[in-house]
């Protein structure tokens, strides 16, 4: 690692430079980068170590996520060893995961009010006044060693994670279950999420319900479409 431009120097150059450089490399503006760094430092104890600053740790994390860079590319970019890149990626991932559990939650945990988007629309108020959100799954491409790919290959034909997400009427995520293999059925992920207390799933109160698609079971608190009805946009 003999470049004169260290990772710390490169990070500082981006944060002092044109806004587009930060967007290209980290997929966020400079003010969002610095705000995120401050939150991770003050609330989630992301600390500068003897050899690397907290801003460079976050830069490594975002550079890999934002550009899909390999460890070998990060070694050259940040002038760090592969083990250092991997170690501090995991450190920041742990902090961001803790932050996610605090942020991805219902604004009103008791669902005591009717969403404004339903309350102010006469077409929906009568039928959906007790609806508190929607649940669906999505497949996100996953990069794994060749010998670990098979369980992650499902209907998409490529390795994916099957991620379940809950969204409210403000288009905000209120729960996310990530990590399941792409071959896993939506129902299994759903049942695991609502039955295991460690996930802190926001269960619907009595009389309230989520909308779900046909990949999920029909049960109290979860309303799916009538059997045989078309509802996916491509069908129309």
Average pLDDT estimate for 2-17: 90
Average pLDDT estimate for 87-108: 95
Q: Which residues pair with 161 in a beta bridge?
A: 140, 181
Is 130 in contact with 208 (CB distance < 8 Å)?
yes
Domain edges within the chain: 7-103, 116-235
Output b/e per residue, 111-134; b: 16+ Cβ within 10 A.
beebbeebeeeeebeeebeebbbe
For residue 97, pLDDT beyond 80:
yes
- Phi and psi at residue 130, to the nearest 5°: -100, 5
Share of the chain above pLDDT 90, in %: 86
Q: Say which residues have a Cβ less than 8 Å from residue 60's Cβ, sequence separation at least 6.
A: 7, 74, 78, 80, 85, 88, 89, 92
DSSP string covering 13-65, please?
HHHHS-HHHHHHHHSS-HHHHHHHHHHHHHHH-----SSS-HHHHHHHHHHHH
Q: pLDDT, tens digit, for every residue of 119-163?
A: 999 999 999 999 999 999 999 999 889 999 999 998 889 999 999
Q: pLDDT, tens digit, for every residue of 179-230?
A: 999 999 999 999 999 999 999 999 999 999 999 988 899 899 999 988 777 7
What confidence score (pLDDT) does residue 236 get?
Answer: 66
What confidence score (pLDDT) does residue 143 get?
Answer: 86
- The backbone region for 216, taken as left when phi is positive above 0, alpha when psi lies in -120 to 50, beta otherwise, is beta
Average pLDDT estimate for 4-33: 94
What confidence score (pLDDT) does residue 226 get?
Answer: 84
What confidence score (pLDDT) does residue 3 get?
Answer: 76
What confidence score (pLDDT) does residue 4 get?
Answer: 77
Average pLDDT estimate for 165-187: 95
Average pLDDT, the chain: 93
Q: Among 72, 49, 14, which residue's Cα sits nearest to residue 64?
A: 72
Parallel, antiparallel, or unpaired: how do β-strands 173-181 and 209-211 relate? unpaired
Rounded to two decimals, the pTM is: 0.82
């Amino acid at each position: 690692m003999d470049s004169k431009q260290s990772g710390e120097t490169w990070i500082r150059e981006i944060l002092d430079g044109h806004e587009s450089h930060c967007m290209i490399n980290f997929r966020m503006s400079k003010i969002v980068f610095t705000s995120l760094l401050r939150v991770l430092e003050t609330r989630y104890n992301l600390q500068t170590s003897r050899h690397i600053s907290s801003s460079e740790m976050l830069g490594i994390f975002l550079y890999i996520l934002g550009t899909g860079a390999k460890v070998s590319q990060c070694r050259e970019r940040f002038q760090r060893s592969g083990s250092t890149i991997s170690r501090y990626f995991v450190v920041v991932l742990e902090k961001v995961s803790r932050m996610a559990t605090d942020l991805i939650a219902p604004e009103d945990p008791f669902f005591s009010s009717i969403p404004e988007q339903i309350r102010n629309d006469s077409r929906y108020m009568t039928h959906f006044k007790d609806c508190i959100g929607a649940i669906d799954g999505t497949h996100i491409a996953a990069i794994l060693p060749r010998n670990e790919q098979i369980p992650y290959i499902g209907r998409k034909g490529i390795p994916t994670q099957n991620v379940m997400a809950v969204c409210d009427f403000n288009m905000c995520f209120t729960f996310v279950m990530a990590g399941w293999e792409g071959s896993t059925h939506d129902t299994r992920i759903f049942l695991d999420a609502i039955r295991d207390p460690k996930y802190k799933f926001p269960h619907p109160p009595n009389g309230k319900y989520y909308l779900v698609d046909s990949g999920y079971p029909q049960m109290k608190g979860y309303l799916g479409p009538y059997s045989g009805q078309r509802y996916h946009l491509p069908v129309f």
